[in-house]
Structures are given as C-alpha cells and as structure tokens.
Structure 1
C-alpha cells in the first residue's frame, strides 16, 4: 500500500508584479494629502498573481494591466477588500459565487485556506468519514435517502461496517425529507455524525441500525478495483474502477494494466463515475496504457493566456511513466503497460465525471471510438495551477510568506485534443443512458455483473441492448443535489512543474 504523500507537485506560481512594468508609480498623496498605506498585503499577492496567470485576465476589468500603475490608487483599491477570498472571486470573470451559477463563465477557480491541507487532498488524503453518497427523493410523501456510492477501505465508515449500496434514511436521529433536507444535510459537515441505516419494505423505509462515526485521516488508493470477465459474448473484458488521477499512484495504475495485458483482454470498461479529475500528466499515462497504437502522438494540448503563450505545449502518448515516492520525490521511470488488443473504450460516467476524466474521452476520440454509458458528464475543459504567496521566486517554490497558508487555484489554461476539439462545457452526453439513482434500492458492489451501469456496458459488448427491466427501475425517484463537504473542489485538472521544463 502506498504511504501518505505529503507533497503536491502541482504548479506553484506567483509573481512579484504582473503589469508590463514591474514598478508601481508613486501616485503622490490621497485627498487628505497623505500617502496611502497598504492595509491588506495579501491582496497584493492575489491581484498580481491573477493578473499574470488567470485564463480570463483580459476579460476581467479589475485585472487590467494599468490597475497598479499609480500606487495610491492601487493601494486604495486593494484596501477596499478586507477578505482575500472574496477579493479573488471579485477579480474572476463572471465567477459563479458572484453572478450565480446560471450566468457563470468561471465555475471552477477557488481560494485555498490552507495549501498544506489542499496538497494532501489532491492525493486523496483527507479527514473524512470515507463515503460518497447520492441523495434521492424516494416517495411522494417527500422521504429522502442517501444511497452509498462508495466506501473507502479502512475509513471510519468502512470500520463501522458500512458498504456500497447501504441506505441512509436519517442523520443524528432525524429522518431526511424534502422539508428539512437542507438543515439535516448540513450536519454532514460535523466532526461526528450518527447515520441511520434503513431498508425498503414494501413501499416504506424501515430503520435497521445506526452508526455513529467520527472523521479520521483517510488515504484513498484511486485504483479501487479491477477484474477480468472471461466470457462476455466470447470476449475477455477488463474492468477498472478508477477514482482519481493521483500521480503518486501511477505505478499502481500501471500494475492494473499489466494484469489486463497478461490476461489478453479484448475490451476495456473504465469506470469513472466517481472520478472528478486530477493530474493531466497521469491522464496522459492512462491514455497511453489504453491505446498503444497511438505511439507518441499528441494526446492533449494546453493553451495559456497571452502573457504565458510561451508555456503552450502538449502532453503526448508515452512508452514510459514517471514514478513518485511517498515524499513526492521522483523515483525515475518505468515502462508503461500499453494495450494493443482493444480498438474501442467504454466509459461509465456520471455528473461527477469531470475535468481529467473528460479529458480521457476527448483525448482518445481522434484515435478510437469511446462509448459513454450512464449519464451526462460534468463539462470542464479548463485546468488550474496552484498560486502561492512567494514574491521573488517566480513559480519554482512554495510560499515563503509565513504569516498565512492561503493560496489560490485559478483556471489558467484550456485543453484541446489532437483535432483541436474542446467544446464540451455542457459535458459528454451518454451513448447509452442509465440513471443509477433509479435503482437506488439495488446498488450492487463494483464488479458485480448485474450492477446496472456495468451490466449495460457488458450487454452492449454482447451485441444486444441492455435490459434494465430485469432489475426494477423506480422511475419516480428524484435525484437531489447537494454539495458534499468531503468532496469540495474535487473536479480538478492540474499540471506538474515539469510541464514547464524547469532548469
């Protein structure tokens, strides 16, 4: 098992100044005849870093290059915001938190309270219960359940005996319904929560048990599960549940494909339903594992703003991958186990399939057919880097400012495939639509041949249409949305420092 990874190799960038001239003109005095002092120094970092790297810098009026020309005016502007997070979002171009999600252009940039915590989260290391769930309204009376999509091995939930498919009918002794939904669900942010475990009996929910669970440090191996189905219409089918593009697990991912290669699979089903993204480099390695005939052709091209057009470049398919140890240091390379036995890819998808996961679909499209099964993906064709408050060191070091641990994760590039395609901001529509939540009372383990979304892929490989009527479908079930506090900012796509070819 991989040890915990304390370091994050995402790009650390910061600028002492980002206007055409690094100096700030002394504007003299303010209206009272006094020189303006900077009361919010962190805002200076926020503005300058965003001015330099933000993808929509030219569209944001407050990031205009002339904004810091006159020191007094610039400092007065910075001092007008006493919250650095709010300031960053105000600088963004039509950020969802400012204009509302329906009118947003930037749905993804965010402010980081503690970059050390965030760096661990990028590698699946969180303080959590260790569950993923989907809320569903299950009766006309407004009863709501959470069905467990995933329970992390060795997590507090796992140790309490919870498993995929369990039904949660209440939290802290209160049953969940449409009337109290928001208030009851908010308790999931607490450190300790009591979960009511229920079952369906006829048309009613019956509580069977309760589990009181306290958060703990959880480290998820994203290579969660894989197996081979020996005879699916005469074919050998590899199946992989992959939950995050975490570069510290590149070698574990490669091991899964060594198994597929040794088994001589004819088809591959890649389950990305719970995969919100991650490392672009790891995404290119996975694509290389899937399709060897691509050689070393272009997998994805990254385009930055005009100030950093010199950084524009590509990730190619590769014959080797980079390995990293638990401390985040490079351990060299190893040959990629590339499949030469498949000519199409099945992707199991959901609304949680985002960014780097969608990049797999888009990047492979020019080479092989990719069939999406499940529901529409999220729609994220842009990526980010981490900006640290470290003036004078360019982007090569983490923050040298010891007064805070704030950082930023703004969008700084858009990603394209070999054919120049990047138009999936509305997500990828499924070729075969299967709404998992309509089977909320029959969520089977990963790898079970009758698990409804996997079954649809296997049936398609067999050459006949999926027959969901063999498993009861509850068409009256209504999927509910909720921002899971354990999965905050999970839909990410970031790049490593080595993309910029540091000396």
Structure 2
C-alpha cells in the first residue's frame, strides 16, 4: 500500500523583502515562526485537514487557523496526536442530546469513536495477536475473574478457562478493585492488574476453578497466535422440537480469518436441525464490515435474499466525488489482494454502496437472540440492526456501546487515523443508536441483566444464556433458581458505573469500531 507520509500545504503567503540599507544591522533573535515545520507538525496538520474533508461531521469543524493543530502537545508524539483527535471529536454536537456525537460519559472529553493507531489494530483484525490471550473482569470488588480465553493462545495452553477466579498475580494478592467510581479511586490495584496482563511479557497467576481446586501458572509468556474469533459453539436440545444453536463470536476479524470458523459452526447447526439461534456478542467490539455482512447472511432466512440489508452514508464531499486529499490514499483491496484502479474511481455515493442480503449456508431460523453488554459495539451492532426488520430479534443483557458509525484507516506517516466517515441504516431506516440498544424495551425486546462471568461459555446455568434457553423452553426469560442474577444482594457488588469504568480501563487496548473493508465500488 502506498502510504501518504504527510501533507505539505501553504498556510499563507510569506513575503520576504531585501534590505538595501548599507548600515550594518544588529543581530536579531531567530524568527521561529519561519522555521521549517517538523514531521510531527505536518502530521498534526494532516490529521486536521483529512478530518476537514472526510470526517462525517466535517462541516462543524472550524478553519485551520482557528483550530491550530500544531498547538497540541504531549509527553510523546502519539499523546499529542491523541489530544488533537480528541479535540476534533468534541466539536460536532448531536441535537438530540446537546452533547458531542462522540461524547463518552465514562470519559468526558475523550473521543468515543476516533483514535490514532500505530498499526496494532490492522494486525489484530487480520487475525494475528501477540499477548497472553485472556482478559480479566471484576465480578465483585474482591472478585477478579477470567472473562474469555482465545483458543490456541498461551492462556489456553495453560488450561485457563472463563470463570476462573484470579487469586494472585505475580505473587500479589492485593487485587481488589479501587478504580474510578469506587472508594478513593486511587487505581493502584487496578493499574497493577492492567500492567501485568497488557504491558508485560511474562505473568504468573494463581487461579481458583469453579470446583475450588487451584491452578498455578508460572512465567507464562506472550506469544503470537492466530485468533479464532469463535470461542464456543454448541447445540442445546430443549425438547418439544426446540433445538438452540449457541455461538460465541468475539471479534469481527477479516473474512479470510473469520469465515472458515463461522461456516462449519453454522453448517453443524443446520445439520442438527436448530430451530432457534443464540449469538453471543457480549465482548465483541467490532471489526470488519465484510465479516458482519457474512454473519448476517448466515443467519437471515433464505427468502430475504436480494432484499436490502443496509445503506451507507458519507459526507457531501465524498458522496459528490470532490475529495482531494483522500485520493492520495491508494487502498489495497483486502479481498483479492490487488490494487484498485486508482483513487479517482472510488465511489462513495448512496446508490453504489447499498448492500443486499445473499443467504449463505442452509440454516433456517426465524428468531435470533443476541447476548450483549456495554462491550458490544460497532460491527456487532451493525449485524444486529441489519436483521431487525427481517427477523424476530431478541436482546439479552446490558445496554450496548452505541456506535452507528464506521471508518476506514487513513495512513499518515507511521500512524493510521480512524475517524467516523460514514453511518449506516437498515432497510427501514433504523440507525442513529448513539445511546446503544436497550434490552427489554419496546424498541429492543428481550431481557435486561448483567453479565455472569462466574460460568464458562456454553454452561446452561450461565446467567445470560439461561434466559434464552428458558424463553425457548417455557416462554419466559426469568430464571428463578439462579441466585447469581440477584447482583445487588451480593456482598462487595460494584455499581454499574464502576463496573463499566473498570471494563473501559481494562479494555483500553482492545479495538472498538466498524471498518469498511469491502471491495470498493468503482465509478462508471
């Protein structure tokens, strides 16, 4: 891919006059305003100018002079660039909320969607990760658990499972939650946990299994592994002709990586005569649009083939083909590995970006339950929203993240900038879910409940899955025998705000977004 290193542009005419006086002039201080800009200055300029052209809410941005991109500073380059992106993100105001479209209530002033990346995201979403392969979660103030493990990762090879309780990390047993919205908010323990599992090359842990036995993991190292985004798939026979297919899909990696994992699972569902489907997206922060479309086509009834799945909308500059800066980005086609015929041919118009359903596989269901939490975002929400007009869609869990917009990467020097360039609507115009999907409401029918991280995926007694199983069998979501659902009665319970704040800090390195990676429509 040919990368644009930065934009060189003229800010204004600088006049120089020759002094013809024969009188010797006293030396003057250096005029720093006429010094050549640094590479960092030019990157800052490029961030703003690309946003001014391609950002979904570009008309809200001020002039270059008023914004002054080079004024943003930080302890390192990426901190300074992140400050600039954050500032851009807070300018456009959503008239329905009177707050920025990118307002994030758990971190006011920070961008909810936009960010600067050093290439980590593209590697991760193409299925390659280099870490321990697990993620922790605070179930209670004094109860730190494993919330998922990637197959084939170091954690998987060490026999670590979802639901295991972490008793110590690197010999430290002081792991109780002390972060935002709880206690003094010192975050000493929280920061220790984050550094241990996300910023270290080796980790030792003592874990308690559900049966009370202890697993000791010593000096587990990070490693590169290929991500299998399907963490679990199984079938439950609920009797009376009801069979439920259950799949945990944790990341919309590239279709080349994800499709070979999804297809066999859905083929098995079809072979076993599954009548109802449960898709667990509780920790899925999104990824590639093409993979979301494929998942929709695996789920949708065959009769809907050829009908509209969703529409994509860009700003007026892109829609009318008047982009200038973006044409410097020669985009390699992610599907076929070749190069498109040049940036002049890319078409961002509504007509050329409509997507229709095209049934894949033979699974035939009319109802699907989606398990969701506040970590369910972007491409996950797109997948769900696309199916709402054409199927009986049920929601189980907590309010989703709320990201009805998407982006593609813009290369600037060694960085990639991700800013919203488009929004989507399904076939009946539903979109704009900036506040997320609210399970158990009239718009999002289902059942609201909190995550149950004490059980492994596929355990029929796990809180959120149990609601779906019970609904299919008995016609009601309520599961009376599960004390785990009485969250407020448990000692040391975290407030919802504190738990979300903890998740946000602990998942700060995890991608959240919806990336356009389809073969581009070409102008004719």
Give the TM-score category using the shorter length: 0.7 to 0.9
- 1:134 matched to 2:145? The reply is no
Aligned to 2:13: 26
- Structure 1: distance between partners of 2:451 and 2:146: 12
Aligned to 2:112: 107
Residues 208 and 132 (structure 1), Cα distance of their counterparts in 2 relative to 1, 3 Å cut = closer
Q: CA deviation at 1:190?
A: 2.0
Q: Over residues 216-236 of structure 1, what are the superposed CA-to-partner deviations in whole Å (9 max), with x where a residue is unaligned?
A: 113211123222223444212
Residues 466 and 281 (structure 1), Cα distance of their counterparts in 2 relative to 1, 3 Å cut = same
- Structure 2: distance between partners of 1:337 and 1:32: 68
Q: CA deviation at 1:370?
A: 0.8
Aligned with 1:250: secondary structure? Answer: helix
- Structure 1: distance between partners of 2:275 and 2:467: 17
Residues 257 and 415 (structure 1), Cα distance of their counterparts in 2 relative to 1, 3 Å cut = same
Aligned with 1:470: secondary structure? Answer: coil
Matched-pair contact (CA < 8 Å) for 1:223–1:242: yes
The one of 198, 202, 209 equivalent to 1:192 is 202
Matched-pair contact (CA < 8 Å) for 1:302–1:415: yes
- 1:121 matched to 2:124? The reply is yes
Aligned to 2:185: none
- Structure 2: distance between partners of 1:467 and 1:169: 32
Aligned with 1:468: secondary structure? Answer: coil
- 1:414 matched to 2:428? The reply is no
5 Å matches for 1:489-500? 489-496=510-517, 498-500=519-521
CA RMSD in angstroms, aligned pairs only: 3.4
Residues 105 and 413 (structure 1), Cα distance of their counterparts in 2 relative to 1, 3 Å cut = farther
The one of 259, 275, 296 equivalent to 1:287 is 296
Aligned to 1:459: 470
Q: Over residues 76-117 of structure 1, what are the superposed CA-to-partner deviations in whole Å (9 max), with x where a residue is unaligned?
A: 86376573333333333358999975645841110112x2x3
Matched-pair contact (CA < 8 Å) for 1:225–1:241: yes
- Structure 1: distance between partners of 2:494 and 2:517: 40
Q: Over residues 20-48 of structure 1, what are the superposed CA-to-partner deviations in whole Å (9 max), with x where a residue is unaligned?
A: xx876424369959745222232233233
Residues 101 and 305 (structure 1), Cα distance of their counterparts in 2 relative to 1, 3 Å cut = farther
- Structure 1: distance between partners of 2:317 and 2:138: 44
Aligned with 1:411: secondary structure? Answer: coil
Question: Which sections of structure 1, spanning at least 5 residues, go unmatched?
Answer: 1-6, 139-143, 321-335, 390-403
5 Å matches for 1:235-254? 235-246=242-253, 247-248=255-256, 249-254=258-263
- Structure 2: distance between partners of 1:89 and 1:102: 11
Q: Over residues 355-409 of structure 1, what are the superposed CA-to-partner deviations in whole Å (9 max), with x where a residue is unaligned?
A: 11111221111112210112221111111110013xxxxxxxxxxxxxx521211
- Structure 2: distance between partners of 1:459 and 1:165: 22
Aligned to 2:165: 167
Range 182-191 or range 476-485, more displaced: 476-485
Aligned to 1:478: 494
Residues 226 and 104 (structure 1), Cα distance of their counterparts in 2 relative to 1, 3 Å cut = same
Aligned to 1:60: 61
- Structure 2: distance between partners of 1:306 and 1:215: 45
The one of 445, 451, 455 equivalent to 1:436 is 451
- Structure 1: distance between partners of 2:523 and 2:228: 29
Q: Over residues 118-146 of structure 1, what are the superposed CA-to-partner deviations in whole Å (9 max), with x where a residue is unaligned?
A: 211113422111112211325xxxxx222
5 Å matches for 1:222-233? 222-233=229-240
Range 185-194 or range 29-38, more displaced: 29-38
- 1:154 matched to 2:165? The reply is no
- Structure 2: distance between partners of 1:206 and 1:222: 29
Q: TM-score, normalised by structure 1?
A: 0.77
Matched-pair contact (CA < 8 Å) for 1:273–1:349: yes
- Structure 1: distance between partners of 2:3 and 2:111: 20
Q: CA deviation at 1:261?
A: 2.4
- Structure 2: distance between partners of 1:58 and 1:105: 20
Aligned to 1:384: 407
Residues 485 and 127 (structure 1), Cα distance of their counterparts in 2 relative to 1, 3 Å cut = farther
Question: Which sections of structure 2, spanning at least 5 residues, go unmatched?
Answer: 18-29, 92-99, 179-187, 321-347, 440-445
5 Å matches for 1:260-279? 260-279=269-288
Residues 29 and 346 (structure 1), Cα distance of their counterparts in 2 relative to 1, 3 Å cut = farther
Aligned pairs, how many? 437
Aligned with 1:174: secondary structure? Answer: coil
Aligned with 1:319: secondary structure? Answer: coil
5 Å matches for 1:200-239? 209-239=216-246
Matched-pair contact (CA < 8 Å) for 1:128–1:486: no
Aligned to 1:258: 267
- Structure 1: distance between partners of 2:69 and 2:261: 49
Matched-pair contact (CA < 8 Å) for 1:13–1:386: no
Q: CA deviation at 1:345?
A: 1.1
Q: Over residues 122-173 of structure 1, what are the superposed CA-to-partner deviations in whole Å (9 max), with x where a residue is unaligned?
A: 13422111112211325xxxxx222112111221112222111100133222
Aligned to 1:78: 70
Q: CA deviation at 1:280?
A: 1.3
Aligned with 1:177: secondary structure? Answer: coil
Q: CA deviation at 1:471?
A: 2.9
- Structure 2: distance between partners of 1:258 and 1:129: 31
Matched-pair contact (CA < 8 Å) for 1:232–1:461: no
